[in-house]
Structure 1
């Protein structure tokens, strides 16, 4: 995770960002700290990367890399404003002893567009990540990568349209995907939880699950009820200030899979 000490919205690279809308950085830090402390209370280890002045979106740690089996695939950002984040995150992994690192050749925005189930790496494209990054990830991780085309600009990253709950159990917003990708999802994940447009619109799918506890935006009320019915323990969080930059729970969380 990365403390949003320098968080602000001074440019617009997704439909959620409006530089004319006031941002309360102190409130963003407070909301982030509550998420950080929640992870600790649930028994998780949280590593921190130092925020870099001039990189206001660095708080969205999920975009910084993808880590599978201790192997680190670095991120390469499409937008110039975020490009320095990739080397900063890769340097953190080098400093912390991760020897298997790969500097991306093609644009990929980390776990924004790479989500890992037991059987697959699900890979989004259409707005940010280059489809060529899918083969690059497959070669590096040695796992099958399933490409999924996103079609709604509000859900510009895969982690705003789909979340992994446990194993090969997922939830997703059907409206966010091209018909061909929706067909793939229905074939591979017939028991997936479909999420309503209303819950998707409050970033309900930008969630983090440890297999039991599902941390998600508290505004996704209907989704919380559906998760309880499936045996999960949903925990709602208010990250409304960070949503002004186009991110929520998952965006703030990079999972390190050893």
Structure 2
């Protein structure tokens, strides 16, 4: 995670950002701190990277890399405003002992568009990550990749429209939640066929970034407003943990955007 010390809405690179409605950096820091503390209270280890002045979106650490079995595929941003973040995160990985770090040749916004199910990597495209980056990820990480096309600009990253509730095991398949209307008709059919038991979110839950959640297989961290989705998840046996991310949402981010999951 990256503290939002320099968080601001200074430009618009997604439909949620409006520089005429500036964010409160202090409030964003308080919300981020609460999210970090939730992870710690749930027993997870949180590692932090030092934020850099002039990079207000560096708080969205999910876009910094994809880590599976200790192998790291870095990021390559589409927006020039975020491009310098990639090198800062690459250095962090190297300085923290990761030796198998590959930087992509194609536009690849990391866990913003990649979701690991335990068996395959779900990969989004349509607005940010190049479709060619999906094949690059398969080669770099050595895992099968399933491509999905996003069609609603409000849900410009996969992690705004889908997240993994529990990874696949020998005893059970992966379980996901997603908002069908964010995907092309073909991708909707692929998701329905691949994940017949998925939790389908409503438009209301999607609009508050309810799909930008983080699950450890039991506890599911969600935006405060995602009430209907929380109820559906509770009915499935999960423990919803809701938190306020309203200030961070002004830049198009939520719990998952702020969280890179490191799988060693």
Match status 1:248 vs 2:258: no
1:33 is matched with 33
Alpha carbons 2:10, 2:22 under 8 Å: kept: no
Matches within 5 A, 1:14-33: 14-33=14-33
Q: Equivalent residue of 1:223, what SS? A: helix
1:228 paired residue among 216, 219, 234? 234
1:100 is matched with 100
1:57 is matched with 57
Alpha carbons 2:115, 2:163 under 8 Å: kept: yes
Matches within 5 A, 1:1-258: 1-167=1-167, 168-258=174-264
Give the Å deviation of 1:142.
1.1
Runs of 4+ in 1 over 2 A off after TM superposition: none
Q: Equivalent residue of 1:91, what SS? A: helix
Give the Å deviation of 1:112.
0.1
Separation of aligned partners in 2, 1:177 and 1:206: 15
RMSD between superposed Cα atoms in Å = 0.5
The total of aligned residue pairs comes to: 258
Separation of aligned partners in 1, 2:145 and 2:90: 22
Separation of aligned partners in 1, 2:228 and 2:194: 25
Q: Equivalent residue of 1:115, what SS? A: strand
Larger helix share, 1 or 2: 1
Give the Å deviation of 1:243.
0.3
Separation of aligned partners in 2, 1:143 and 1:238: 34
Give the TM-score of the pair, scaled to structure 1.
0.99
* Unmatched tracts of structure 2, length 5 or more: 168-173
Give the Å deviation of 1:22.
2.5
Give the TM-score of the pair, scaled to structure 2.
0.97
